Structure formats: C-alpha cells, structure tokens
Amino acid sequence: MSFLQQTISNLASLRILNTYIQINLLDMKRLLIIPFFIFTLQVYAQTQTLITNVLGRQTFSLNGKWNYIIDPYETGYYDYRYKPFDASPKPSGGFFLDRHQTDKSELLEYDFNQSPTLIVPRDWNSQDDKLFYYEGTIWYRRLFQYSKNNPDNRVFVHFGAANYETDVYLNGKKLGKHIGGFTPFAYEITSILKEGDNSLVVKVDDKRKREAVPTLNTDWWNYGGITRDVNVVEVPSTFISDYFIQLKKSSKNLIAGYVKVNGVKKSQKVKIEIPELKSTSEFTTNDSGYVKIEIPLKKLDLWSPSNPKLYQVNISSETDKVVEKIGFRTIETKGSDILLNGQSIFLRGICIHEENAIRGGRAYSLEDSRMLLGWAKELNCNYVRLAHYPHNEYMARLADEMGILVWEENPVYWTILWDNKETFDNAQTQLTDLITRDKNRASVIIWSMANETPVSEARTNFLKNLAATARSLDDTRLISAAMETHTNPGKPLTKIVEDPFAPYVDIVNFNQYVGWYDGLPEKCDQITWEIKYDKPVMISEFGGGCVQGLHGDAQTRWTEEFQEDLYKRTLNMLSKIPQFRGVTPWILCDFRSPKRLLPNVQDGWNRKGVIGENGTKKKAFFVLKNFYNQMEEKYSLKEKKK
C-alpha cells in the first residue's frame, strides 16, 4: 500500500469508528455500509510472513479437534446486502467474532461451542458423509491458551495449507486472506495474542473457480478444509526467516545461497556451521536483513539415491538459531543425459497424488508419506513425480532421507485462463511459495511448471514467465512441464513431440496414452517417434485403468491382465526413444475423481493405479518393478564401463 493509500485508510478508519459509535444502537441489520468501510479492511489484513523450516522452530501445535459450521450461503461473511462484515473496523456481525451468548436477549444465530468438530489437519470430505461432495465455505474455530516463552518473542500462526481460499481471524481481528490450496502461509499474532484464552477462526472456501489455479476442471477430488498442520510458531524479535543453502550450480564443493533475517535488528552477524565437516563461516546481513553466502567445502559426501547423506547445518545469528539437515548434490543435463553428481542417471519413477487411498482423503502426515514413498521404493524407484500440485512438506523431507529424487509441480493444469493477469499472479505466487519452502531439499531436482496445457501463444508466454520466475529464484534445479504429443495427417503411427515451450525446459516431458485413450495396447508395437530436441526425454505419464482383483484376458478392459499387457508394450515402445532418460507411469495408487463415473468399475475412482484402493498391488506393479531392476543394472554397467 502506498503512503497515500495508507493515510486515506487510517483516516477512514477513525471516521468510521466515530460513525460506528453514533449509529451503534440502530438495527444492525439495516446498517448501511458506507464506502469508507472498504478501505479499512487493509488496516486489519496483514501480509503473510515467510518462515522457512517451521519444523525446526519452537512450535505449539493447533492440530486436533476444531469446531465447525457449514455455511453454504456464507452467512457468517456477508450481511443481507452481500457486503462483507469484516470490511468494517468494528464489524457488526460475522462468525469470526466468535461471540459468546452472555445476554440471552441478544440475537445470535450461530454458536461454535455447540457445533460439531472436524479433525485438523484433514480434508472435510473424508470425515463426514454429508461433506463428501461439499464444495463451499466451512468455518473452523479453535480455542487455545498460550503464554510466550519469552516476553520479547514474536508469535505467528502458520498453516501448512488449506484448500482453497482462507480467511484467518484471531480474537475477532482479521489476519489476512490466503489463496491457493497447497502452499504454506503464516501471519504475525504477537500483538493480538492474549495470555490465556484465544479464539482462532478460519473460513475455508473450496469452491472451484474459472480464474483459479487450478481451474474448474481437474481429474482429482477437490478436497476442502485445513488439510495440513497448524502451528503457533514463536521466534525471537529478529529471527532468521529464510535461507538458501545448496551447492552452486555445477560445483561439487562450493555452497552458494543467502540468509534473511526479519525484525528490527536487520544488520547482524550470521554464522553457518556444518560440524561434521568442521566448517564455520561468518557473514553480516545488510540493512535489509539479507546476505549472500558462499562456503567452500572439502571432502563433501554427495547426496544421491544410493547415498542419501544429510549434514546437520546450524544457521545462527546474534538473535536466533535454526538447525536443519541438508544434503548436497548437483543436477544438470548434457545433451540427452541427466547428470546427478556428474553421472548419467535414468529416472525410475512413478506419479503420486497426495491421497491415502486406504484411509480415504488427502495424505497429510509423515506416516502417509512413509506409506506412499515406501511403495515407490518397493517398485525400485529412484524418483517420484508429485502430481499435480505441491504436496505436504513431509514428502520432500522424507525423500531426502530415503534417497528418492523428486519432481514438484505447480497446479497449472489443463485449461487455465492464460490471458488473465490475476491468474498468472496467482500461479506465480504458488510456484514461488513452493520453491521457497523446498529449495533446501536435495531430493527435489525438477520444478514443473504445468501439466498438459493446450498450446497457444498466451499459454506459452504464461509458462515462459513462470519458468523465468523459477530460474530467478533457484538456478540450481531443472525446469520441466508435462507436455503432449501430436501426429501429422496421414502418419497416425508417428508420434511427434514438438512444443513451443520445449526450448525453455531442461528436460522434455510428455504424457501419452497409446493403448488406453488411443487405440489398443497392440498399437504400441507400431509407434515410431519424432523428437528433435537434444535434451533428455522423459514420459511424465502413461497407463490404463483396471480394477484390482478383476481378472480376464489381456484383451478385456479393466482387468489386471489388460493393464499388465499395456505396461509391457508401453515400456517397450518408450525404450525406442533415443533420448529416453526416465518415466513416471500414471499412477502409484487408484485415486478418487468425480470425473470417473462408470458404475461397478470406477465408482468415483480413477483406476490407473498399480496399487488398488485397498493397498493391494496389481500385476502391472511387478512389470514395472522388473523393468526398473533392468534399467538400474543397465545404468550401473554404463557407469562402470566409463
């Protein structure tokens, strides 16, 4: 906000306060909201604060049971003239005020205390049959007591994610609004927090919107709610808010990055220690609280899937200290090769949705991550594609420990509004927040900009701008996107991969479904490829559906045998691509999708998993595992021969 806007808004709020006191006794329902009220929202809503590595801070968990009110008409948000209650300095109503019925004659039409509870973190759809198909607003309320460990400390409330639009209020004051269903956000509550009882009210709205990211149409369940951890985070008055500590591009012995501090003491000494390497380096942050760092290291044990080595890194300043385990590796491409620590690698992957098929609903915990990545390991994967949006933070952290390379993806899916500036800003923010959160994870090697987006000039510009953003934030990782194939008239068996966005990516990835949406599996045997790029080529999706436990011959759709045959033929077909350096079949587990309507077969599930909804492996699982065993051997022989 400019100085002028700020002044207008402050003046406005004073005038409104006076007006409010005078007309307070009027029937509130009839109160006309004067335009000034609109300005004052800005006085309350603050910007989000970045806190990297929340798991490494002093936190107080707000996970658990929260009271909730289903509010399809958003009665707690808009008055009867459809004006938001929270646009006034002394709001006249709204559920966020969380008032208690002290005067029995007062008209109150909600009561959190009498309302049922939902578990946080978890989507709402899988917690109550009534909410299974619900898309709209739900209000959450959590009472908590808090007393600071140190009176000078600052306190924040941090959300791992909530889908999709979230308004947050503490003790009746608005903290802010967050847009986007899969990225973290935090607000400072230092001055609003009370010693003793506090009421945190959160409005979550998961209505799909045309201009949103993702847009209206997706092939996955639109799980609503506070889907990830909520924590109160306490930090010193000037704290280390962010740091980037990774090997400099192409270097195996030089760390390059930055440290940022937030608070009044902007310029201060910062120390980075890696005790196991006996490395200590000191820097001084500038007047903006920022310092670039470079740390030369000797004898670094590089991180890789076969050696997921993590070092304890201590980041301290004069006022704060954070500890995190970080791995160091390089990732590059050279011609059609992907080089991990300088060695050519084949990415043996699988796509994963953030869903726990067995329990139902969104995956959100370390245990869920263990289950999903454990299955990927059983497949002999060294890589996973976390589709189609940023997954919870535990996934990449566990991948760091387990030695699994990771593709992370922005939810730019299918038919986004390419020409809409707001939509671009939204996509850019989500991408930025993802990179910010996971930039210190050695496991993460690819930032994916989008999935299966229809080629047009506007779309390519949109993606180019996103790619430029990603490179400016992090030049150490590879950029990609899941693109598509096409054929030319008269040559239906020649699949062409040619996309105006391809020149801007490091790895050419495409989805293809020959044998499922495109002919029968036998068609795979006849396909030839035209891919002119001198870049690594990976297949970001292939597959077909089958019901786990349904058997028949390989010509009968939905049987395990059909899927098994399709996998064998597809892997054979893909192996003919000279630049073939990795694949992520679609998908690890069957997942819920409202688009999948075939009774007794799909019943609301996309059945393309190599594992069924009950956790049982299908026949195709073993075809893939076998292929990966062979690829592992082939690549280790290649490296030995060198």
Q: Answer yes or no whether residue 586 interacts with ligand GCB by CB under 6 A.
A: yes
Q: Which residues contact 513 (CB under 8 A, 6 or more apart)?
A: 541, 542, 543, 544
What order do you get walking across the sheet with 311-317 strand by strand? 279-284, 269-274, 311-317, 321-326
Contact indicator for 290, 258 with CB cutoff of 8 Å:
yes
Query: Is the CB of 329 or the CB of 385 nearer to ligand GCB?
Result: 385
What amino acid occupies position 23?
A: I
Minimum separation from the CB atom of position 537 to ligand GCB (A): 17
Dist CA 411 CA 296 (whole Å) = 37
Query: Is the CB of 117 or the CB of 602 nearer to ligand GCB?
Result: 602
**Site track for ligand GCB across 371-400, x = CB under 6 A:** -----------------x------------
Query: Is the CB of 89 or the CB of 214 nearer to ligand GCB?
Result: 214
Q: Answer yes or no whether residue 511 interacts with ligand GCB by CB under 6 A.
A: yes
Q: Which residues contact 449 (CB under 8 A, 6 or more apart)?
A: 410, 412, 431, 463, 466, 467, 470, 479, 480, 481, 501, 505
Q: What is the DSSP string of 460-481?
A: HHHHHHHHHHHHHH-SSSEEEE
Minimum separation from the CB atom of position 354 to ligand GCB (A): 13
Query: Is the CB of 44 or the CB of 501 nearer to ligand GCB?
Result: 501
Query: Is the CB of 94 or the CB of 521 nearer to ligand GCB?
Result: 521
Q: Which residues contact 607 (CB under 8 A, 6 or more apart)?
A: 545, 546, 547, 558, 590, 596, 601
Pairing of strands 580-583, 347-348: parallel
State the number of CA atoms in the 13 A half-sphere of 111 facing the CB.
10
Query: Is the CB of 219 or the CB of 530 nearer to ligand GCB?
Result: 219
Query: Is the CB of 123 or the CB of 355 nearer to ligand GCB?
Result: 355
- The one among 88, 137, 451, 570 contacting ligand GCB by CB under 6 A: 451
Q: Answer yes or no whether residue 608 interacts with ligand GCB by CB under 6 A.
A: yes
Minimum separation from the CB atom of position 549 to ligand GCB (A): 20
Q: Answer yes or no whether residue 570 interacts with ligand GCB by CB under 6 A.
A: no
Query: Is the CB of 452 or the CB of 560 nearer to ligand GCB?
Result: 452
Query: Is the CB of 439 or the CB of 608 nearer to ligand GCB?
Result: 608
Counting residues that bind ligand GCB (by CB under 6 A) gives 9
Dist CA 281 CA 296 (whole Å) = 9
**Site track for ligand GCB across 55-94, x = CB under 6 A:** ----------------------------------------
Minimum separation from the CB atom of position 382 to ligand GCB (A): 22
Dist CA 501 CA 36 (whole Å) = 46
Helix (H) or strand (E) holding 10, with range, is: helix 3-23
- The one among 52, 427, 606, 613 contacting ligand GCB by CB under 6 A: 606
Minimum separation from the CB atom of position 414 to ligand GCB (A): 8
- The one among 74, 111, 219, 318 contacting ligand GCB by CB under 6 A: 219
Token pair recorded at residue 100: 């208690």
Residue appearing with tokens 């009370």:
194
What amino acid occupies position 549?
A: G
Minimum separation from the CB atom of position 593 to ligand GCB (A): 7
Q: Answer yes or no whether residue 238 interacts with ligand GCB by CB under 6 A.
A: no
Q: Answer yes or no whether residue 541 interacts with ligand GCB by CB under 6 A.
A: yes
> CB burial class (10 A; 0-12, 13-18, 19+) of residue 230?
buried
- Look at residues 379, 262, 331, 318 and name the one whose alpha carbon lies nearest to residue 479: 331
For residue 151, is the peptide bond before it cis, meaning its omega torsion is within 30 degrees of 0? no
Q: Answer yes or no whether residue 452 interacts with ligand GCB by CB under 6 A.
A: yes
Which positions from 322 through 341 interact with ligand GCB, judged by CB under 6 A?
none
Helix, strand, or coil (residue 594): coil
Query: Is the CB of 535 or the CB of 596 nearer to ligand GCB?
Result: 596
Q: Answer yes or no whether residue 432 interacts with ligand GCB by CB under 6 A.
A: no
Query: Is the CB of 86 or the CB of 452 nearer to ligand GCB?
Result: 452
Q: Answer yes or no whether residue 518 interacts with ligand GCB by CB under 6 A.
A: no
Minimum separation from the CB atom of position 595 to ligand GCB (A): 8
Minimum separation from the CB atom of position 463 to ligand GCB (A): 16
**Site track for ligand GCB across 245-274, x = CB under 6 A:** ------------------------------
Query: Is the CB of 220 or the CB of 621 nearer to ligand GCB?
Result: 220
Give the CA radius of gyration of the chain. Answer: 26
Spacing of C-alpha 294 from chain mean position: 29
Minimum separation from the CB atom of position 603 to ligand GCB (A): 15
Dist CA 614 CA 612 (whole Å) = 5
Residue number of the CB atom closest to ligand GCB? 219
Query: Is the CB of 426 or the CB of 511 nearer to ligand GCB?
Result: 511
Cβ of 323: how many Cβ atoms within 10 Å?
Answer: 12
State the number of CA atoms in the 13 A half-sphere of 237 facing the CB.
6
Site residues (vs ligand GCB, CB under 6 A): 219, 388, 451-452, 511, 541, 586, 606, 608
